[in-house]
């Protein structure tokens, strides 16, 4: 029995890794295809951004009530507007605009592979069950981002980075290391990661072809989720990371960004 308790989490963690890297990306929310607004954003998983210790509004569904369980990545990505309205037509882009947009979305896809790995690594060694559940809820939202980016790459006649397994393995190790230093450091790592991701998305929004409203809508919805994840981590007690750690994170991200842009 003791051996089972040790082996089961390893099997679950390995299963998450294999699905994140090799299985077709799936999302529980529709692909954004309209300009972002607080009211019109793709519906969040109920309670997904409620940090540990925060009260759930009366009558509201909790993540355990309605969110897709961790062993169920959700339903297939469907290009449609929130609320079930007909999908907007895809923007018409020149060949150059498609190449530029695809390169940027490939970087974002690689970032979402890394995000899955970071959260999985942190959850694997989280000490507080509430922290672990919060990390896994965030990972499920990042799975939506992964699905959106993968579908957009298909629409642009492109593909993800060939280094996806490497990004996952390295990021999982970094996430596990952060978690091994304690939950406050791990949550601080989440907050700093999401802060840097927000800046990265902002730069991509500036560089996207003006006509590519589809990719823009996806990135704006992703940006909103990343901000929520960072704020939840701070609210849950995340510690400020030292400057050298923040700079190391930026350097690592630059390597992945440059490589994924091309391959």
| pLDDT(52) > 90 | no
pLDDT reported for residue 37:
53
CA distance 108 to 131: 26
pLDDT confidence of residue 36: 59
- Flag the least confident range among 58-72, 189-203, 214-228: 58-72
CA–CA distance, 54 with 232 (Å, rounded to integer): 10
Residues 6+ apart with CB under 8 A from 177: 121
pLDDT above 60 (res 87): yes
Residue predicted with more confidence, 34 or 79? 34
The span from the CA of 236 to the CA of 134, in Å, is 9
Contact 26, 77 (CB under 8 A): yes
pLDDT of residue 204 exceeding 80: yes
Give percent of the chain with pLDDT exceeding 70. Answer: 77
- Answer whether residue 171 shows pLDDT above 60: yes
Look-up of token digits 């607080």: 38
> Torsion over CA of 120, 125, 130 and 134, rounded to 10 degrees?
-20
The encoded tokens of residue 212 equal 């590519």
Percent of the chain with pLDDT over 90: 67
* Per-residue model confidence (pLDDT) at position 88: 74
**Any long-range contacts for 219-223 (C-beta under 8 Å, 24+ apart)?**
219/108, 220/32, 220/35, 220/36, 221/32, 221/36, 221/41, 221/42, 221/148, 222/108, 222/145, 222/148, 223/36, 223/198
Among 66, 178, 49, 65, CA closest to 123: 178
Burial of 178-189, coded b for 16+ CB within 10 Å and e otherwise, reads bbeeebbbbbbb
* 53/237: higher pLDDT: 237
Residue with tokens 């990042």: 142
96-263: CATH, from 1.20.1260.10, 3.40.50.1100, 4.10.220.20, 1.10.10.60: 1.20.1260.10
Instruction: Count Cβ atoms within 10 A of the Cβ of residue 158 and give its class: 0-12 exposed, 13-18 middle, 19 or more buried.
Output: middle
pLDDT digits (tens, 9 = 90+) for 207-250: 999 999 999 999 999 999 999 999 999 999 999 999 999 999 99
**Least-confidence region, from 25-34, 88-97, 200-209:** 25-34
| Confidence at residue 198, expressed as pLDDT on a 0 to 100 scale | 96
Is the pLDDT confidence value at 130 over 60? yes
State the pLDDT confidence band at 1, using cuts at 50, 70 and 90.
low
- Domain ranges for the chain, please list them: 96-263
pLDDT at 3: 57
Residues 108-115: what's their mean pLDDT?
A: 96
């Amino acid at each position: 029995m003791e051996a089972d308790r040790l082996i089961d989490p390893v099997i679950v963690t390995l299963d998450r890794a294999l699905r994140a890297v090799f299985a077709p990306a799936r999302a529980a929310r529709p692909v954004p295809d309209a300009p972002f607004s607080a009211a019109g954003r793709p519906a969040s998983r109920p309670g997904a951004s409620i940090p540990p210790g925060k009260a759930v509004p009366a009558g509201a569904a909790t993540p355990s009530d309605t969110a897709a369980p961790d062993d169920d990545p959700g339903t297939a990505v469907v290009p449609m507007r929130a609320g079930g309205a007909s999908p907007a037509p895809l923007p018409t882009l020149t060949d150059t605009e498609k190449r530029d947009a695809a390169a940027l979305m490939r970087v974002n896809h690689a970032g979402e592979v890394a995000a899955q790995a970071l959260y999985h690594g942190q959850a694997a060694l989280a000490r507080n069950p509430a922290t672990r559940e919060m990390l896994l809820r965030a990972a499920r939202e990042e799975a939506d981002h992964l699905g959106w980016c993968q579908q957009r790459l298909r629409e642009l006649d492109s593909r993800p980075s060939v280094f996806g397994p490497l990004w996952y393995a390295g990021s999982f190790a970094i996430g596990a290391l952060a978690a091994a230093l304690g939950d406050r450091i791990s949550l601080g790592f989440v907050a700093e990661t999401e802060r840097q991701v927000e800046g990265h998305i902002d730069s991509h929004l500036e560089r996207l072809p003006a006509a590519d409203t589809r990719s823009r809508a996806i990135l704006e919805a992703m940006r909103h989720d990343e901000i929520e994840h960072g704020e939840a981590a701070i609210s849950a007690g995340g510690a400020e990371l030292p400057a050298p750690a923040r700079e190391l994170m930026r350097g690592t991200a630059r390597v992945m960004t440059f490589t994924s842009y091309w391959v």
